[in-house]
Structures are given as structure tokens and as C-alpha cells.
Structure 1
Amino acid sequence: MIPLPPLDAHAHVDLAISSSELENLGAVVMIATRSLEDFKVVQDRKDLVSVWGVGCHPSLVGVQKAFNKAEFRLALKKTPFVAEVGLDGSSRVSLESQTETLQSILQEVCQQPRIISLHSYGATTMLVEVLKQEGVRPGRILHWWLGDEAETAEMLRLGCYFSVNYSMVRSSGVWSQIPLNRILLETDHPSGDRFSVRPRQPGSVIDIEAVLASKFGLTPNEIRLQCWRNFVEIVDSTETQAMMPIPVQRMIAAVRSAAK
């Protein structure tokens, strides 16, 4: 099997970054945007190893007010990835309004399945309730999850995956109850990698791989392969492989073939 690069399931990147700069990261990066307007700037890019998501960040008042369901529906046709969306308990936008927006997004993703990275800062209990109403659905990744043990168990029951960053794994926490077959890695650059080893950049997940390798009694390469397998399961469940960049499609196919 071809050597697999690091896989970063959630990062924030300057919209004006060049394709060559992204390729020089040496990683596959799933990039979250803040809004439909941000996504419009990047929706026609043809990056080889990066995937730009369409987002509606729950903490941004203007972004939440500007959300348009019809525009979001159209944006889904141009990306396999929805990020960053969710709920934020510290936002000046009411949780009621945030929930209405998120439910609209989830309804659209139900019709057009996509990989979806969900924000839940200060609102884990509310997000559990929203997802329980929807039932088990493919493609859900809980980004920087800080829920308690009971909430985490419920999210596992609902089929969710979890993207963990170095700020999470550098201390003990509920993340340690997540089974390896539900884990992806993220930098959440530039926030989640503030305590990471240098270089602090999208795709730099080697330090997280090392922590997980120690926890699960595996090598870092085995952790990377398992995270790729988890990613492939999500891609398959959402039927989004054809929307990925061609080199990423080849990596997905290689991981799938190696598992047979």
C-alpha cells in the first residue's frame, strides 16, 4: 500500500492560501470555513490534497443571521464536507436560533449525505438532544468534543465519530473513553494546536499520533492507518468519495483495498 500522509479532519486556513502551500503541508487537510460567503470564495478551487467545507459557525452573529437554506443546499453540490457548523453556548446568538439553523443544515445533509464536523462548545447537552431527534445518521464527526461520559456514550450510540486535537489529549479527559475505531485526528489550527510541537500548521498531527500510540499500545503508523480506515468508513457511509480530489480518492481506494 502507498505510504499514507497525515490526515487532519478539521483545520482553519486562510482563504487566499495557494495550492502549492497546501500541498507543501504534506498532509490531507479537511478545511472548515465560517460561512456561506467564505465558501463561495473557495468553492471552485481544485486543490489536490485539501477539501474545503461549507460552514455556518455558531458563534458568529452575522454568519448565523445570514444563513440561507437554499444557498446552503446549492453549496452542498460542490463539496463533500460541511464545517464548521453546530452549537455554541458562549455565542451571542440564542441557542434557540442556533438550533433552528443547525436543524435546517441537518435536514439538507439528510437529503444530500456529507461528512459533517460539528462544533459543541458549551452546548454538548443540547447537541445530544438535537442529534437524538434526528436518529442515527452517517458522516457525523464531533469536533473538539468536551461532553461528559454519559453524553459521549450517547453520541457513540448515535454512530458519531470524534476528531481529537492535541489540546484534548495532552491531559486526561473523556476523550479516553472513545474507541479507536471512532477516532479521527485534527489540529483545529490555529486554536487546537497552540500547545503542539512545532511546526504548528494544518496537517501536523504527529504529536497526537504519538499520544494515541502510547494509549492503545500501537505504533504511530498503526494509529495513522486506523484513522484513515475510520475516515474511509465515513466516506463510504456518505458516498462522497467521487467528490474528493483525485489523489485523495486514490488514498481512500488504497486503504479500502488493504483492508480486504
Structure 2
Amino acid sequence: MISPQRANPQWVDFHCHLDLYKDHEALIAECDREGVATLAVTTTPRAWTRNRELAAHARYVRIALGLHPQLVAEREAELAIFERHLGEARYIGEIGLDAGPRFYASFSAQERVFDRILRLCAEQGGKVLTVHSVRAVAKVLGHIERSFPAERGRVVLHWFTGSAAEARRAASLGCYFSINAEMLRSAKHRKLVAELPADRLLTETDGPFVRRADQPVRPRDVSGTVAALAELRGEPIDITASMIISNLRSLVA
């Protein structure tokens, strides 16, 4: 995402839907101004071209090519568009599986699409994936284990809410974890986050879906997540912030 030789971000937002904000273009400029290394995920391959054009000159914003599992029921045919653009994209997301009640009817199609994407990314190599795993962590990890070897790219589990055993399994597969403010609100999830490997932690907002004071969070608000994570870890904010930047550099090296 950000070359250590070319830029020095202050913060990391590794999963944000910039194109779902009303002030999309202004938000890209804000990320550059505030020094927020931001991965702008897309939910449909049709959004790739315009997103990429808008961020073409951004210092800190990169665009991910995605096909969201919640949209697979209606957009599976867009996998052909995804495949056409895959060679242009280093970052892939949002992809994954969602076994929640609203989307379970399409779960077999989701698995078909997810496995195809993983295999294509493995063939090309060097991709960095941000992956959705609602109520489907074991299934997601099984697909990664079978179809996306660690030496062929990197996986970041976005908004991970699996078990401690699943977290250990994910870490053994080389996965990273992106943490947002909402995850740190419950004691259960704080305990899980506290046990994640420090060198695999990143931060995210998942804006505009996460809100604060009834307003969508913005990439710059990830500083609050860093502060909460620092408190959880019992260390100064600057140490946690430096760790997150270091983890980003390792991820994309």
C-alpha cells in the first residue's frame, strides 16, 4: 500500500468504503492531508474503474477490487468483470463469506465465488486481501488453507469475531487482523483482540457503516481506535501507532 521509502503515514485505515460517502473525492484529499494510509474497498467490480480514477494521484489512498459476499446473490455474474480487472489490482476486497440469516440462502454461491477469487489471486501472486467472515470464520479459513497459500499473498481478516481457537488457526495461516472501534466496545471482543498477535494487528474504520455520535466515522477517526487499542494493551498511544504502521509495512513489503 505505502512504500516505506515514499511516504510516512500517521495512521492506518485498512478497510473503508470511501465510495459510499457523499463527499468521496473530498475524503480522498482528507486522507492525504491527515496522513491516513487508507484501503478503499469496493463492493462490486463495476465500481473499480471509477474508484481507481479518483484515487489515481492520492498519496495515501489505495483501491481494492471487490465482490462483497452480501451482493453475490444478485451480482455473481460480475465475477467476469472482476477477473478482467484482477491483473490491475494489488489489493482485493471486500470479499469473503457471510452466513448471517439475511444472506445464508446464497451461501453456496458465495463459496463458489470466494474460492474462485482465492485461486485466481494465488495464480497471479502478490495480492493483499481484506476478507469478510460473518458467522463463517471456519469456512473462510478452510478456503484460504486450500486455495490461497501464504507464500502467494496476504490475508487480512476484517472485523474478525471468531473464537480464540479460530484466531490461532488464522494466525498460523499467516493472516492479519484489522480492528475497528466497534469491536472494542464489548468485553468479549476486547478479550479476543488482546490475545491476537501484536505483529498482525492493523486498524480500520469500516466507514460509513460504523458510526460515532450518529455520524459515519471517517478514516481520520481511526486515531480513536488506536487510542482504545493502546489502552487495552497498556502502552502509550505512540507505541501502538508505530506498531500498526510497522505491521502495515511488513504486510505490503
Segments of structure 1 that go 5 or more residues without pairing to the other structure are: 237-260
Amino acid at match of 1:39: W
User: 205, 209, 223: which is aligned to 1:206?
Assistant: 223
Map of 1:152 onto structure 2: 167
Distance change (3 Å), C-alpha of 1:188 and 1:12: same
Q: 2:236 aligns with which of 219, 242, 260?
A: 219
Structure with the largest fraction of helix? 2
1:169 pairs with one of 175, 184, 207 = 184
| Structure 2 residue 10 is matched with structure 1 residue 5 | yes
Q: Is the 8 A contact 1:32 1:54 kept in 2?
A: yes
Distance 1:161 1:63, change over 3 A: farther
Map of 1:241 onto structure 2: none
**1-side partners of 2:220 and 2:111: how far apart?**
31
Please say if residues 122 and 149 of structure 2, whose CA atoms lie closer than 8 Å, have aligned partners that are also in contact: no
Change in Cα spacing, 1:92 to 1:235, as seen in structure 2 (3 Å) is: same
User: What does the per-residue CA deviation read over 1:28-74, in whole Å, with 9 as the maximum and x for residues that have no partner?
Assistant: 210110111111322333141211111000011455422324x3233
Identity between Structure 1 and Structure 2 (%): 25
Q: Are 2:195 and 1:190 aligned?
A: no
The answer (yes or no) to whether the contact 1:34–1:63 under 8 Å persists in 2 is no
> What is the alpha-carbon root mean square deviation over aligned residues?
2.4
Alpha-carbon deviation of 1:207? 1.3
Q: Which runs of 5+ in 2 are unaligned?
A: none
Tell me the equivalent position of 2:30.
Answer: 24
Aligned to 1:101: 113
Amino acid at match of 1:228: I
TM-score norm. by structure 1 comes to 0.81
Q: Which residue does the alignment assign to 2:247?
A: 230
Mapped contact 2:73–2:106 kept (Cα < 8 A): no
C-alpha contact 1:28 1:203 (8 A) present in aligned 2: no
Confirm or deny that 1:73 pairs with 2:86.
no
- Deviation of the 1:209 alpha carbon: 0.8
Q: 1:122 is matched with which residue: 123, 135, 141?
A: 135
Runs of 4+ with deviation above 6 angstroms:
196-199
For 1:14, what is the secondary structure of its paired residue? helix
2:203 and 2:225 in contact (8 A); partners too? yes
The answer (yes or no) to whether the contact 1:43–1:78 under 8 Å persists in 2 is: no
- Choose 3-12 or 19-28, whichever is displaced more: 19-28
Question: How do 1:44-59 residues align onto structure 2 when only pairs under 5 Å count?
Answer: 44-45=53-54, 46-48=56-58, 49-59=60-70
Q: Distance in 1 between matches of 2:107 and 2:252?
A: 30
1:37 aligns with 2:49: no
User: For residues 53 and 34 of structure 1, do their structure 2 counterparts lie closer, same or farther at Cα, with a shift above 3 Å needed?
Assistant: same
User: Distance in 1 between the 2:75 and 2:108 partners?
Assistant: 12
Paired residues, number: 234
Question: Are 1:161 and 1:182, in contact at CA under 8 Å, matched by a contact in 2?
Answer: yes
> SS of 1:34's equivalent?
coil
